[in-house]
């Protein structure tokens, strides 16, 4: 996987994650996300990585073995703001490492809006969701309210669900459980260009 390759190249050079991050002009946390494969770098960043490590792009991002990836559906968009109508249509399929999709049924949704920017989820990001009807307090989940899908932190407060944004410009939503259906838990957000 590319994260292991980045780690290997960094260790060969004798650099820390902080040193590489500085060379790339990103935070240490962002670079750490690349190595841990929590975020895929942009095409521009892939070029920068290859330059910093003095290797070809293919040396870092060689094709995964076919047996190591699966195609997961990209299902409509999830609102991370005021919301949009939730459609069941499949926009396409995303090649995904099998190890990202263990423990149940998974699919992608596309983020819309800016209400989750505090959790580093931005407009257009692909959100890997594990389909499940419940989540723990404070976990981020895709929640269906009527025909609108939203991505929020979910808390239980007595007989209500509290759906909390990660942006101070948005107020929490208080919803009776009968009016909200948890679609699934967010496992990962990936940047797509």
Question: What is the rounded CA–CA span in Å between residue 110 and residue 33?
Answer: 19
Q: And the tokens for 162?
A: 């509290």
Task: Kindly give, in sequence order, each residue whose CB lies less than 8 Å from that of residue 161, ignoring residues fewer than 6 positions away.
Answer: 143, 154, 155, 174, 175, 176, 177, 180
Burial readout 127-139 (b: 16 or more C-beta within 10 A, e: otherwise): bbbbeeeebeeee
User: Per the residue annotation, which of 79, 112, 152, 185 is the catalytic one?
Assistant: 152
For residue 65, the surrounding DSSP H or E stretch is none
User: Per the residue annotation, which of 67, 89, 112, 115 is the catalytic one?
Assistant: 115
Q: Can 152 be counted among the known catalytic residues?
A: yes
Q: And the tokens for 38?
A: 């929590």
Share of the chain residues as helix, strand and coil, in percent rounded to the nearest 5: 30, 35, 35
Q: And the tokens for 12?
A: 């060969």
Catalytic residue positions? 115, 152
């Amino acid at each position: 996987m590319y994260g292991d390759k980045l780690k290997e190249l960094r260790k060969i050079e004798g650099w820390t994650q902080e040193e590489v991050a500085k060379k790339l002009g990103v935070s240490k946390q962002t670079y750490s996300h690349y190595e841990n494969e929590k975020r895929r770098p942009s095409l521009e960043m892939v070029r920068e990585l290859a330059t910093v490590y003095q290797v070809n792009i293919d040396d870092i991002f060689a094709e995964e073995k076919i047996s190591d990836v699966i195609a997961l559906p990209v299902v409509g968009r999830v609102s991370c703001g005021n919301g949009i109508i939730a459609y069941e249509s499949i926009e396409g399929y995303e090649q995904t490492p099998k190890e990202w999709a263990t423990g149940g049924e998974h699919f992608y949704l596309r983020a819309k809006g800016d209400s989750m920017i505090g959790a580093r989820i931005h407009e257009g990001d692909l959100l890997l969701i594990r389909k499940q009807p419940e989540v723990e307090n404070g976990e981020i989940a895709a929640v269906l309210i009527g025909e609108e899908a939203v991505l929020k932190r979910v808390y239980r407060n007595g007989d209500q669900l509290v759906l909390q944004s990660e942006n101070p410009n948005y107020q929490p939503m208080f919803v009776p459980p009968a009016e909200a259906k948890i679609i699934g838990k967010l496992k990962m957000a990936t940047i797509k260009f």
